[in-house]
Amino acid sequence: MSSLSVDQRRALSEAVLATPAIRRVGDAFAASGYDLHLVGGPVRDALMGRGVHDLDFTTDARPDAIEAILRTLTPATWDIGRAFGTIGAALRDGGREDIVEVTTYRADSYDPASRKPTVEFGDSLTDDLIRRDFTVNAMALSVVNGAFSDPHGGLGDLAAGVLRTPSPPEVSFGDDPLRMMRAARFTSQLGFTPAPEVVAAMESMAKRIDIISAERVRDELSRTLLSDAPRPGLDLLVRTGLADRVIPEVSALVREVDEHGRHKDIYEHTLTVLEQSIDLEKARGHAPDLVGRLAAIFHDVGKPRTKRFEGGGKVSFHHHDVVGAKMTRKRLAELRFSTDQIKAVAKLVELHLRFHGYADTDWTDSAVRRYVRDAGDQLERLHILTRADCTTRNQRKANRLRTAYEQLEWRIDELAAQEELDAIRPDLDGTQIMAILGIKPGPVVGRAYGFLMERRLEEGPLGEERATAELLAWWADQEH
């Protein structure tokens, strides 16, 4: 059992005192004769000076008793998973609202053939803590009497920045294989290093992740990507073989290392693009963006399938953008990402090479309009991805590409100020087209609209009078 230093005791005490909901819940459970412990992430984060956000508690009370006690504090309670022993509640204090989750001491494990855990309620904090995912999350603070529990050396591992499991990792990951994904997340999120035995267990048990629902895997992958430093976590997934089960298109890039140096290391390039995307997110004032980061790790997944050896020892990856977009859609659908997220990421993958024509030749205003039109509401993300995709060590080339893209963004802004590029549409709408041509709704209206859109892209705003004249000239050449 580890003991707290004076500073650590103060950090925990301040976390409790600064959060009214913790005191209120603790007093209510104590009054009913139950133990209640703040456990896991809140304790870890308080000791790390990260602040307390998610309030997770464990108790000897059973779910019905938990709900009854919480209802004395707030009508806003809900059943997160009664079968799993968890009841949630929202507690308001002045203008502050805290979400709390209270779970009965438990002992859960996975049936090897099932996606769902079998649950047994426990009778002691000791039994509960040994079944936690990692030692740094197996520390508890009683909010009834202030006792601190650390039976598995979490304090020492916290100081060392090491991820270990309270029970043997094979047992821990066997109970809940998702913990292997969580190891990657904590590697990125907290900057910890998994212990050698944890890595070895992840390697030998990677296939066990297949029993976990796609939604739960997706959520852990997303949390890893949204951390400040996702690279170490992603690299851990790849090294242990978990990525082969979860995002095999990304792990396949490792096998594209070219020992003859005819093209860059695609996997390392991908991780660098991800890091540069994050830097640009911050520099441009954006919050962590899951869609943009997914696009960064998937943007080159089409390269292995399109790799061709050309004359003179060169290697090409023609159409890897189109192929990669199709692969991306399939993988993200299997991971149960939303339709909007899938469409956005696939669009970015498909468009990530479009700029390179601009870097080589001067684009007409028409080409700039088409770039904006094709990017649609993903234009800002495309700016970030395209800029991040420059990882060349050739400083002259890097400067040329950077300058070219700055010029493109300047031209987009200039045209946008003149033409409202964010809402590019023909000068005449469908109703006007039908009135001018004297036709009824049908395919020909769509063709006429497409003609006017092409003229808009080529020439910019035409004005209603000129658009009408050009529409009538086009109509005269059509077969009626």
User: In the chain, how many domains are there?
Assistant: 4
155, 178: one domain: no
Task: Convert the pLDDT of each residue in 189-247 to its tens digit.
Answer: 999 999 999 999 999 999 999 999 999 999 999 999 999 999 999 999 999 999 999 99
Residue that the structure tokens 């739960």 belong to? 216
Higher-confidence residue: 30 or 470? Answer: 30
324, 394: one domain: yes
* In a domain? residue 117: yes
162's tokens: 């090491």
Distance separating alpha carbons of residues 290 and 155, to the nearest angstrom: 32
**What is the identity of the amino acid at 220?**
E
25, 118: one domain: yes
Helix-helix angle 290-298:320-334, to 10 degrees: 130
Higher-confidence residue: 181 or 434? Answer: 181
pLDDT band at 262 (very low <50, low <70, confident <90, very high): very low
The per-residue pLDDT of the chain, averaged, comes to 88
Higher-confidence residue: 124 or 107? Answer: 124
Task: Convert the pLDDT of each residue in 67-120 to its tens digit.
Answer: 999 999 999 998 877 777 899 999 988 778 889 999 999 865 556 665 565 667
* In a domain? residue 114: yes
Distance separating alpha carbons of residues 58 and 67, to the nearest angstrom: 13
Which of these three, 423, 445, 463, is where a domain ends? 423
Count other C-beta atoms under 10 Å from residue 285's C-beta: 6
Q: Which residues neighbour 429 within 8 Å (Cβ) at sequence distance 6 or greater?
A: none
238, 218: one domain: yes
* In a domain? residue 254: no
Nearest to residue 471, comparing CAs of 418, 429, 440, 422? 429
* In a domain? residue 260: no
pLDDT of residue 190: 93
H helix intervals, 74-213? 125-130, 154-160, 169-175, 178-189, 196-205
pTM of the model: 0.83
Q: Which domain holds residue 308?
A: 274-423
Distance separating alpha carbons of residues 304 and 431, to the nearest angstrom: 48
Nearest to residue 48, comparing CAs of 196, 197, 182, 161? 161
444, 412: one domain: no
Kind of pairing between the strands at 162-163 and 193-194: parallel
Distance separating alpha carbons of residues 246 and 206, to the nearest angstrom: 10
Task: Convert the pLDDT of each residue in 353-412 to its tens digit.
Answer: 988 766 666 778 888 888 888 888 899 999 999 999 988 777 888 787 788 888 888 888
Phi, psi (degrees; rounded to nearest 5) at 405: -75, -35
Distance separating alpha carbons of residues 348 and 334, to the nearest angstrom: 19
* In a domain? residue 287: yes
* In a domain? residue 6: yes
Distance separating alpha carbons of residues 144 and 446, to the nearest angstrom: 70
pLDDT band at 260 (very low <50, low <70, confident <90, very high): very low
